[in-house]
């Protein structure tokens, strides 16, 4: 598909918050001192992750800054980000990165680190900025408060740019574009990928949809810098896309973070380049360079939206340990904790950047809609978020990425009965608690909030290929009293089985991208660019690590995971991510709402 279908912190790992005091303007001896340091730490066993937010309450600082503190115990910094951190004994110094040398009045900088400890991980008592003790006010130094909140903040952290903008761009987002907002899609123009636009406009009628924003897939290390490989998404690298977004006056850009070790362990079409034991390489060669680019100050007024690791975490719940869909690779990735640790690291590094928004992939209703999967998948999402250091690193979640599940099913809701029988017992629904993506996404959001995620998280639904229009689309409920006949004649989703995922025959474009379309939903999005293949119909050698999956072969008769139904795939498909003209034409023909 492209695609389908860290260790968690203990309950005792409560976040601690130290509100420290004062900022000193290094360029003026008479400047008023005043700053605040918010320090949060999440601990597990003998390790912890800390994040610091430093707010300047005094005159602007230019030419460099440093924050110092003394650990009260034996804590040791092992790795930092968004600052250069050094340690001598218990004394620690964090110096500014090259791209953030100043702090304006009422502006903030954020950085963090991983550390080790034994005994008790007590938070530092005070902090200094450029040698002056922080007090949280612009007045004299006072004793810092000793009472700490018992729970982390429930709102998303807002990190203003290091130099406050004067006026927002007229075609970008409204409000202060350098600060995090509740919904990054609201009041903002989306980035149109010029490479996808060119493909779409090369097709007859493609100009009708070519100006819609689609996501850029960073599906291998080489994609960060760009490549001329014609089998990939093109030659533009991450900086090229970010620069193009600025040139377009876009308010947001969508990026897919997609290169975990042992990627997509339950399928072959979207396997990746990194082996199951290459987590260090994932961190240093993939996530770290992406974070460095996204953190460049030139992009601080652009809302950068990351869709994080499609299909990864749900696989650890549903395709391991002897289940029907279990694979050796999924068992390996569960055993080595690679998916949880990898997603946690990505959320940590990217979440430290003030204008970045992370949405974690949450599969789709036809995968985790059963009670046996629903709760456990939510739990592993929380483990990954906690491994990142804070649930604040997660803006929300996305469902139906690169999939085909219908947005709404008006006539086959789980409560529907036919002839005195509940339709959940039909072969199509198979006792699932959900039959469409909107209902599922709203319910899953409520579940995530109930287990510890922030109450303002938002959901995304990928509607790029779930329209199911055309002549086969039902226009009314069936009159049959047989549950199977009723469901099959009434359902919007026309796949042979809800588990079929590869280049589905009969699919159509769904709702066009739009912000805040329903309660709890941040946006309908086109993360999967329409016209890009899910996988090849036959084995095609390539240098991207992408294999051949029988679910992409139209002659394949299915397996236990899809009820031994035919794959329903289109013929003559290229490898995943490559342009598939026949699919694009079908998607336009069957679009719902229809194209004009």
What pLDDT digit, counting tens, does each position of 187-231 carry?
Answer: 999 999 999 999 999 999 999 999 999 999 999 999 999 975 444
Q: What is the mean pLDDT of residues 475-499?
A: 96
Helices in 483-580 by DSSP H: which ranges? Answer: 483-490
Task: Choose one of 80, 114, 133: the last residue of a domain.
Answer: 133
Q: What is the pLDDT of residues 37-87, one digit of tens each?
A: 989 887 777 788 888 888 888 888 888 899 999 999 999 998 877 789 999
Alpha-carbon gap, residue 219 to 326, rounded angstroms: 24
* Cβ-based burial of 15 (10 A; exposed 0-12, middle 13-18, buried ≥19): buried
Q: Are 101 and 84 in contact (CB under 8 A)?
A: no
Is 442 a residue whose pLDDT tops 50? yes
Task: Report cis status (omega within 30 of 0) of the bond before 232.
Answer: no
Q: Residue count of the chain, please give it.
A: 596
Same domain, 248 and 329: yes
Strands (E), 139-278: 216-218, 252-257
Residues of the chain with pLDDT > 70, as a percent, come to 86
Q: Tell me, what CATH number does 466's domain have?
A: 3.20.20.40
Mean pLDDT of 476-480: 97
pLDDT reported for residue 99: 63
Average pLDDT of the chain to the nearest whole number: 85
Residues 465 and 350 in one domain: yes
As given in the structure block, the two tokens for residue 508 are 């159509």
- Find the Cα–Cα–Cα–Cα dihedral 76, 81, 84, 89, rounded to 10°: -10
pLDDT tens for 85-108 read 999 999 999 998 776 778 877 777
Q: What is the pLDDT of residue 324?
A: 75
Nearest CA among 523, 472, 520, 514 for reference residue 496 = 472
Residue 18 has pLDDT above 70, yes or no: no
- Which of 133, 167, 202 lies at the terminal end of a domain, its last residue? 133
Provide the domain count of the chain: 2
Q: Is residue 169 part of a domain?
A: no
In 125-281 the beta strands, taken as DSSP E runs, fall at 128-129, 132-133, 216-218, 252-257
On whether both 118 and 254 belong to a single domain, the answer is: no
What pLDDT is attached to residue 93? 96
In this structure, are residues 191 and 245 in contact, taking their beta carbons and an 8 Å threshold?
Answer: yes
Boundary-marking domain end, from 112, 133, 154: 133
Q: What does the pLDDT look like over 220-268, one tens digit per residue?
A: 999 999 975 444 444 799 999 999 999 999 999 999 999 999 998 987 7
Query: What's the rounded Cα separation, in Å, for the pair 256 and 326?
Result: 25
Domain of residue 38: give its range. Answer: 16-133
276 within 8 A of 338, measured Cβ to Cβ: yes
Q: Are residues 360 and 482 in the same domain?
A: yes
Would you say residue 45 lies in a domain?
yes
Please give the pLDDT value at position 513.
98
Tell whether 315 is covered by a domain: yes
123: Cβ contacts below 8 Å, ≥ 6 apart = 16, 18, 39, 41, 72, 148
Kindly state whether residues 289 and 407 are assigned to the same domain: yes
Any domain includes 7: no
The answer to whether residue 309 sits within a structural domain is yes
Whether 264 is catalytic: yes
Q: What is the mean predicted confidence (pLDDT) over 481-508?
A: 96
Q: Are residues 442 and 353 in the same domain?
A: yes
Residues 6+ apart with CB under 8 A from 526: 212, 213, 214, 215, 462, 463, 464, 512, 513
Residues near 270 by Cβ (< 8 Å), separated by ≥ 6?
1, 2, 3, 263, 264, 310, 311, 534, 535, 546, 576
pLDDT of residue 47: 81
Q: Are residues 91 and 209 in the same domain?
A: no
pLDDT higher than threshold 80 for residue 29: no
Q: Are residues 376 and 234 in the same domain?
A: yes
Q: Do residue 68 and residue 214 come from a single domain?
A: no
If asked whether residues 202 and 349 sit together in one domain, one would say: yes
Q: Is residue 107 part of a domain?
A: yes
pLDDT at 383: 96
Residues 117, 211 share a domain: no
The answer to whether residue 595 is domain-embedded is no
Residue 163: band (very low, low, confident or very high) from pLDDT cuts 50, 70, 90: very low
**CATH code, domain with 75:** 2.60.40.290
User: Is 509 a member of any domain?
Assistant: yes
Tokens at 446, concatenated: 């409520």
HSE-CB at 14 with a 13 A cutoff on CA atoms is 9
Tokens representing residue 102 in the block: 């100043």
Do residues 55 and 203 share a domain? Answer: no
Helix H, strand E, coil C: the string for 69-90 is: EECCCCCEEEEEECCEEEEECC
Q: How far apart are CA 247 and CA 145, in angstroms?
A: 47
Q: What is the pLDDT of residue 113?
A: 86
The catalytic residue among 264, 311, 549, 553 is 264
Per-residue pLDDT tens digits for 543-581: 877 788 899 999 999 887 788 899 999 999 999 889 999
Residue 207 is encoded by which pair of tokens?
């100009």
The reported pLDDT for the residue numbered 138 is: 66
Q: How does pLDDT run across 117-151, given as a tens digit for each residue?
A: 999 999 999 999 998 889 887 654 333 333 333 33
Q: Point out the least confidently predicted range of 24-33, 99-108, 388-397, 471-480.
A: 24-33
């Amino acid at each position: 598909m492209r695609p389908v279908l860290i260790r968690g912190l203990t309950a005792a790992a409560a976040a601690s918050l130290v509100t420290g005091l004062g900022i000193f303007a290094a360029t003026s001896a008479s400047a008023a001192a005043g700053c605040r340091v918010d320090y949060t730490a999440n601990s597990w066993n003998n390790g912890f992750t800390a994040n610091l937010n430093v707010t300047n309450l005094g005159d602007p600082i230019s030419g460099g800054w440093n924050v110092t503190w003394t650990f009260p115990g034996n804590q040791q910094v092992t790795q930092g980000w968004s600052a250069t951190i050094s340690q001598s004994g218990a004394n620690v110094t964090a110096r500014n990165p090259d791209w953030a040398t100043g702090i304006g009045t009422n502006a903030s900088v954020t950085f963090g680190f991983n550390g080790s400890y034994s005994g008790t991980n007590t938070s530092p008592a005070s902090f200094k900025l450029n040698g002056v003790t922080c007090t949280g006010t612009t007045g004299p130094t006072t004793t810092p408060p000793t009472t700490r909140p018992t729970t982390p903040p429930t709102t998303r952290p807002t990190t203003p740019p290091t130099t406050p903008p004067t006026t927002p761009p007229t075609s970008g987002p409204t409000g202060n574009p350098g600060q995090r907002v509740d919904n990054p899609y609201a009041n903002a123009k989306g980035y149109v990928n010029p490479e996808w636009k060119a493909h779409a406009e090369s097709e007859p009628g493609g100009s009708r949809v070519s100006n819609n924003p689609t996501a850029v897939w960073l599906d291998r290390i080489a994609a960060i810098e760009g490549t001329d490989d014609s089998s990939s998404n093109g030659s533009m690298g991450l900086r090229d896309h970010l620069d193009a977004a600025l040139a377009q006056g876009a308010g947001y850009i969508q990026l897919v973070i997609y290169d975990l070790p042992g990627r997509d362990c339950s399928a072959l079409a979207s396997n990746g380049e990194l082996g199951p034991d290459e987590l260090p390489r994932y961190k240093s060669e993939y996530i770290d360079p992406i974070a460095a680019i996204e953190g460049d100050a030139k992009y601080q007024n652009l809302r950068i939206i990351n869709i994080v690791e499609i299909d990864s975490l749900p696989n650890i719940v549903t395709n391991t340990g002897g289940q029907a869909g279990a694979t050796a690779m999924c068992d390996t990735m569960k055993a080595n904790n690679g998916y949880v640790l990898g997603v946690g690291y990505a959320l940590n590094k990217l979440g430290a950047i003030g204008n970045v928004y992370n949405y974690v992939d949450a599969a789709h209703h036809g995968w985790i809609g059963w009670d046996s999967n629903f709760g456990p998948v939510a739990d592993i999402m929380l483990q990954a978020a906690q491994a990142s250091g804070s649930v604040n690193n997660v803006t929300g979640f996305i469902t139906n990425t690169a999939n085909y599940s219908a947005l709404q099913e008006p006539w086959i809701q789980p409560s529907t009965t036919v002839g005195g029988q509940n339709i959940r017992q039909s072969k199509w629904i198979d006792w699932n608690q959900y039959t469409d993506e909107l209902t599922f996404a709203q319910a899953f959001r409520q579940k995530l909030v109930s287990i510890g995620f922030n109450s303002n998280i938002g959901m995304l639904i990928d509607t790029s290929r779930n329209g199911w229009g055309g002549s086969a689309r039902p226009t009314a409920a069936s009159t049959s009293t047989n549950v199977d006949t009723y469901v099959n004649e009434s359902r919007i989703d026309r796949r042979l089985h809800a588990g079929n995922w590869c280049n589905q025959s009969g699919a159509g474009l769904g709702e066009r991208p739009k912000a805040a379309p329903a309660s709890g939903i941040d946006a309908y999005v086109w993360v999967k660019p329409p016209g890009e293949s899910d996988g090849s119909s036959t084995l095609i050698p390539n240098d991207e690590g992408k294999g051949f999956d029988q679910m992409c072969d139209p002659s394949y008769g299915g397996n236990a995971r899809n009820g031994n139904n035919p794959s329903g795939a289109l013929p003559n498909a290229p490898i995943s991510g490559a342009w598939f003209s026949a699919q694009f034409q079908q998607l336009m023909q069957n679009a719902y709402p229809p194209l004009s």
